[in-house]
Amino acid sequence: MNVRPNSPAARDIAHHLHPYTNWRRHEADGPLIINSGKGIYVQDDQGKEYIEGMAGLWCTSLGFGEERLVQAAAEQMRKLPYYHAFAHKSHNPGIDLAERLADMTPGDLNHVFFANSGSEANDTVVKFVWYFNNALGRPEKKKIISRIKGYHGVTVASASMTGLPNNHRDFDLPIANILHTECPHYYRFGQEGETEDAFATRMADALEAKILEEGPETVAAFIGEPVMGAGGVIVPPRTYWKKIQAVCRKYDILVIADEVICGFGRTGEMFGSQTFEIQPDIMVVAKQLSSAYLPISAVIISDKVYDALADNSAKIGTFGHGYTYSGHPVAAAVAVETLKIYEERDILSHVKAVAPLFQEGLRKFADHPHVGEVRGVGLVGAVELVADKTTKASFDPAGPVGVQLDKRAIANGVILRNIVDSLAFCPPLIITDKQIKELFDRFGKALDETEAWIKAEGLAV
């Protein structure tokens, strides 16, 4: 990359440390600098337009330039730009948002604790779970089971629950009391002749075996995304969650639904828990809570969990956890306005109307020579590339082909998320039928170009 001295790219390379980036490669390649956005489109600093096929990072549900959210932020900034929730203090945006979330969420999830990101929220969940069992006089019941390829964040505790190797390597993770069970990806891990229902049973049996191996009296909670996002958009078999929950209830283990990606319409229902009939004791939301216009997340807990935590806070004299910006009034005001827009514009009905076209468009790529699996639900999906469709063999090494497809997608004006050799799709919920077709037309060109590159490089089997 030819970078002009003192240009934004040169200044970025010199000073800006990027998440999930090879920093040495960044010195050579430089950044893609996005300057503006409108609807589902963004523009870079050279004026090139892209379809933001990932809604940023699974989050900009209402697209870019939603003026009502801008106004909500501005009005709250003028009225009360900051206040906290420590020591019995409160403010109306925080109260309004907590009430709305309690009303929206399924079951008796009636109590809301605010944080600033999914990672912080899931870190809070770990502390809630440990505090809960200490409150009940069960100090040995502390282990939390997550899943291989699950994603729950990047703080010390949440990254430990994340089941991806690069989130653990050389960070000295995972910490104690965090365990991982099998990934419910039927295409990759189903056995020959095994039905999806039998696979789901095997996954539940594996969870139960791990619980028995550890000792049920030591296992406190199971956490999972209804649809696994950053692990590759993995949609579980329909009976998976029913069977997993049955195991958890059998051994008095809390069920935690990480809805950071799935929440607020992404899967075709307001929450992924409703799509997959999950009845969580704890739910975590973020991202689409504010359409990502400002950072905010929430941990929503059941009456049972709340009562134990509240009793323990009374015993100790305080609940010794919280963040300076928990329920920040400006972020909360934007989140309240976001939820109002979802309701007033009936975003959920729109998602249900366009999702079939989106899923059909994805599945048209299934016949491509090196597409192994196409998967998805609602307005989220992925296309996985393989070296051999018959054997499902991955490219060796894994990764470079996915990188190539990602680059060619960007060249064709669409931004996606490369996850090893899978390309993830998660467009803004406002996407139209016409825009879905445009998205897949651009991706189809990138896929054809990548296929030609695979042949030219001699990677085809």
Digit-coded pLDDT (tens) for 12-32: 999 999 999 999 999 999 999
In angstroms, rounded to a whole number, what is the distance separating the alpha carbons of residues 326 and 332?
A: 9
The verdict on residue 8 lying in a domain is no
Residue 301 has φ and ψ, to the nearest 5°, of: -120, 155
What is the Cα 238 distance to its own chain's centre? 19
Average confidence (pLDDT) over 72-99: 98
The verdict on residue 17 lying in a domain is no
Q: Which amino acid is at 175?
A: I
Q: Do 386 and 441 lie in a common domain?
A: yes
313 vs 126, 309, 327, 344, CA distance in Å? 16, 6, 20, 39
Confidence bin at 67 (pLDDT 50/70/90): very high
Q: What is the DSSP string of 222-268?
A: EEE-SSB-TTT-BPPPTTHHHHHHHHHHHTT-EEEEE-TTTTTTTTS
SS3 breakdown of the chain: % helix, strand, coil, rounded to 5? 45, 15, 40
Task: Kindly state whether residues 131 and 240 are assigned to the same domain.
Answer: yes
Cβ atoms within 10 Å of 216's Cβ, excluding its own: 14
Residue 433, pLDDT score: 98
**Which residue is associated with the tokens 């900051």?**
82
pTM, 2 dp? 0.96
The answer as to whether 27 is a domain residue is: no
- C-alpha 301: how far from chain center: 19
Per-residue pLDDT at 3 exceeds 90: no
Q: How many domains does the structure of the chain reveal? A: 2
Q: What pLDDT was estimated at residue 241? A: 98
Out of 344, 365, 397, a domain closes at 344
79 and 56 in a common domain: no
How many CB atoms neighbour CB 335 within 10 A?
A: 32
Looking at residue 443, its pLDDT comes to 98
Burial class (CB in 10 A: 0-12, 13-18, 19+), 410: middle
Contact 347, 370 (CB under 8 A): no
Taking a C-beta distance cutoff of 8 angstroms, is the pair 198, 164 a contact? Answer: no
**What is the pLDDT, as a whole number, of residue 4?**
85
Q: Is residue 449 part of a domain?
A: yes
* Confidence check: pLDDT of 370 > 80: yes
Question: Side by side, which strands form the sheet with 371-377?
Answer: 371-377, 380-385, 422-425, 417-419
Q: Specify whether the backbone of 172 is left (phi greater than 0), alpha (psi in -120 to 50) or beta.
A: left
Query: In sequence order, what are the residues at sequence separation of 6 or more whose Cβ sits closer than 8 angstroms to the Cβ of residue 456?
Result: none
Residues 116 and 42 in one domain: no
List, for residues 167-198, the tens digit of each pLDDT value: 999 999 999 999 999 999 999 999 999 999 99
Answer yes or no: is 242 within a domain.
Answer: yes
Q: What is the pLDDT of residue 5?
A: 87
* Model confidence pLDDT, tens digit, residues 225-262: 999 999 999 999 999 999 999 999 999 999 999 999 99
Residues 173 and 310 in one domain: yes
Locus of tokens 């060249």: 411
Contact 110, 104 (CB under 8 A): no
Based on the fold, state whether residues 289 and 371 are members of the same structural domain.
no
Residue 94's identity, in one-letter code, is G
Which residues have a Cβ under 8 Å from the Cβ of 453 and sit 6 or more positions away? 404, 408
We report the CATH number of the domain holding residue 182 as 3.40.640.10
Query: Which of these three, 313, 344, 375, is where a domain ends?
Result: 344
Q: 225 pairs with which residues across the strands?
A: none
Q: Are 79 and 50 in contact (CB under 8 A)?
A: no
Least confident of 121-135, 303-317, 387-401: 387-401
Q: Which residues, 6+ apart, have CB-to-CB distance to 83 below 8 Å?
A: 89, 91, 329
Residue 56 backbone dihedrals phi, psi, to 5 degrees: 75, -105
Strands 297-302 and 109-115: antiparallel
Q: What is the pLDDT of residues 427-447, one digit of tens each?
A: 999 999 999 999 999 999 999
CA 153, 154, 158: angle at the middle one, nearest 5?
A: 60
Q: Are residues 330 and 372 in the same domain?
A: no
Same domain flag for 318 and 378: no
Cβ proximity of 273 and 106 under 8 Å: yes
Domain CATH code at residue 407: 3.90.1150.10
Angle, helix 400-411 to helix 433-456, in steps of 10 degrees? 130
1 band by pLDDT with thresholds 50, 70 and 90: low
In a domain, 448, yes or no: yes
Average pLDDT, the chain: 97
- Find, among 360, 295, 305, 280, the residue nearest to 330 by Cα: 295
247 plus 355 within the same structural domain? no
Answer for the pair 184, 200: CB distance below 8 angstroms, yes or no.
Answer: yes
Is residue 121 domain-shared with residue 265, that is, in the same domain? Answer: yes
Q: Is 408 inside any structural domain?
A: yes
Of 350, 312, 349, 315, which is closest to residue 436 (Cα–Cα)?
350
The domain boundary, picked from 344, 372, 389, lies at: 344
DSSP 175: P
Residue 331 belongs to domain spanning: 68-344
**Could you tell me if 365 and 247 lie in one domain?**
no
Residue where the block lists tokens 């910490």: 175
- Whether 326 contacts 113, CB under 8 Å: yes
Domain-located, residue 22: no
What is the predicted pLDDT for the residue at 372? 97
Residues 50 and 129 in one domain: no
**Residue 137 burial (10 A CB sphere; 0-12, 13-18, 19+):** exposed
**CA nearest 302: which of 134, 112, 110?**
110
Smallest Cα–Cα separation from 122: which of 102, 151, 98, 97?
Answer: 151
The pLDDT, as a whole number, for residue 459 is 86
